[in-house]
Amino acid sequence: MKLRNIAIIAHVDHGKTTLVDALLKHSGTVRENQRVAERVMDSGDIEKERGITILAKATSVEWKGTRINIVDTPGHADFGGEVERILNMVDGVIVLVDAAEGPMPQTKFVVGKALKVGLKPIVAINKIDRPDARHVEVINEVFDLFAALDATDEQLDFPILYGSGRDGWMAASPEGPKDEGLAPLFEVVLNHVPEPTVHEGPFRMIGTILEANPFLGRIITGRIESGSVKPNQAVKVLHHDGTVLENGRISKILAFRGIERQPIEEAQAGDIVAIAGLSKGTVADTFCDPSINVPMQAQPIDPPTVTMSFIVNDSPLAGTEGDKVTSRVIRDRLLKEAEGSVALQIEESPDKDSFYVSGRGELQLSVLIETMRREGFELAVSRPRVVMQKGENGETLEPVEEVVIDVDEEHAGIVVQKLSERKADMIELRPSGGNRQRLVFHAPTRGLIGYQSELLTDTRGTAVMNRLFHAYEPYKGELPGRTNGVLISNDQGEAVAYALFNLEDRGPMVIEPGVKVYQGMIIGIHSRDNDLEVNVLKGKKLTNIRASGKDEAVKLTPPIRMTLERALSWIQDDELVEVTPKSIRLRKLHLDPNDRKRFEKQKASAA
């Protein structure tokens, strides 16, 4: 059967996964009356809850005697490593662009990578039915973007389709016809995307997606570059430096057939398949015939920009809510994660009780923490820090990101002010339709940690921020920190409503009555800039004069809910977030007040 391999790339929320749903339905892969989940490719729990794609996944459809392998990719810059490595599996890309928003930072990032590899793009203008659609300007913006990314003349001669993935139609004109469904898109894919290039020689394949299966063990997905492979065939795994990792046999070959994976007896060069049976091979390794000694080279991956410390939980409540608390199980879990995610780097600290985990951004690391806490892990994590580099002349370089903010005109002033305080340089300001403006900045990554929630507060939830790694530039100096101190519990026990009520003048709380607290745990935000130790266990004195029932009449202001992302971006360098399967607690790094004073003195003398 003829083959085509394509990836769908776009910015977050431009409709990639919804379009894959429509392609599966239109091709007859999913029956009309078959019950499937919405956004069927987003199979993970966190993906379903957040409505975002985190891992790249493959599927396939048949159209007029041709099998089309489709790879659905994430749209968030934090998961850009997933997109970079799958580009060597495909021969063409569908660049999906929102008819109102136009090409956004992540579109620019992945399109740049795709054009560099030499892939031929197909541009699909999605959500054409939006009332604020502006498809003529968007096409011009896409063309300008391709030209700015040094596209070849052949790549600039891209076909354009308009339509709505949600309604299941694409056409060469914005007006339709709509009754042909997605047939025009399939035809363009067949005519525009070349067949996979097949090299001569025995079996070779580079690993691109790794997953663990409880029945089959490690499953590696990739595209076969040359030769063919059958179950029980002997293969060896080569590291990218040429060392042999293992020799083994393939137990099963799984091919993508719609949303299912089916075992097959033989896979040919050019097809995207998953193989099982090998225990050591991972992403970017070469799986090949025993006669081959030279590994294939994988696409280089951009380096991580943000790092965090994952520390063994040593609080008084450690081990009460989770069952995986030791450094050994945390280490094994992190190393397993790093195998499948090329954009993550894990480094063990000298004391063996903490690990430095580096990734592309706060979102990528917070998704990893959320996944681990759901698996029963307990750990403490530090504030995200940026990964610095040394320049050629010995100067310190820090990561700078391109930030695009769409905001109502009335709020543009406060956004510019706040970002200039965070050492950001404004690059562009232009109207983006509907009394909104698009602001483009180059901002240090340090200044953006924790800015998302502040931006939403300043703009009453109307701003949309997108960010993308731009370059390493000279260090821009100190940034303003958090202006408020914290309220710290001075003893261990359960928080009492009466005590919390009396502390409300000191600032808003982050805990509720009845919550277990311990010495050094953060229970609220101080209204001033210093930290304050308080007693939250102090109950009301009960005598025969005062009525004991009065305590029930205490009306407390609802506490501030600290989600994982908010907590990570809010804490300071001397604070930690304690994460367990049931709770997210904030605490000081040093729980004992005397240790904290000693630490402050050392810090002051060092400065």
User: Annotated binding residues for GTP, as ranges?
Assistant: 13-18, 126-129
Longest dimension (CA), the chain: 95
Residue showing tokens 């070779």: 204
- Contact status, residue 403 vs residue 333, Cβ threshold 8 Å: no
Binding-site members are 13-18, 126-129
**Both structure tokens of 541:** 């004195």
CA–CA gap between residue 37 and residue 47 (Å, rounded):
13
Summarize the chain as % helix, strand, coil (round to 5). 25, 30, 40
Of the candidates 50, 60, 49, the residue with the CA atom closest to the CA atom of residue 24 = 60
Q: How would you classify the pairing of strands 217-226 and 272-276?
A: antiparallel
CA–CA gap between residue 240 and residue 206 (Å, rounded):
10
Residues 6+ apart with CB under 8 A from 565: 362, 363, 366, 452
CA–CA gap between residue 294 and residue 276 (Å, rounded):
22
Q: What letter would DSSP give residue 592?
A: S
Residues 6+ apart with CB under 8 A from 302: 80, 81, 84, 343, 360, 469
CA–CA gap between residue 323 and residue 330 (Å, rounded):
11
Burial of residue 350, with CB atoms counted within 10 A of its CB: 0-12 exposed, 13-18 middle, 19 or more buried: exposed
- Contact status, residue 343 vs residue 81, Cβ threshold 8 Å: yes
CB hemisphere CA count around 420 (13 angstroms): 9
For 29: left if phi > 0, alpha if psi spans -120 to 50, otherwise beta; the answer is alpha
Of the candidates 570, 580, 460, the residue with the CA atom closest to the CA atom of residue 525 = 570
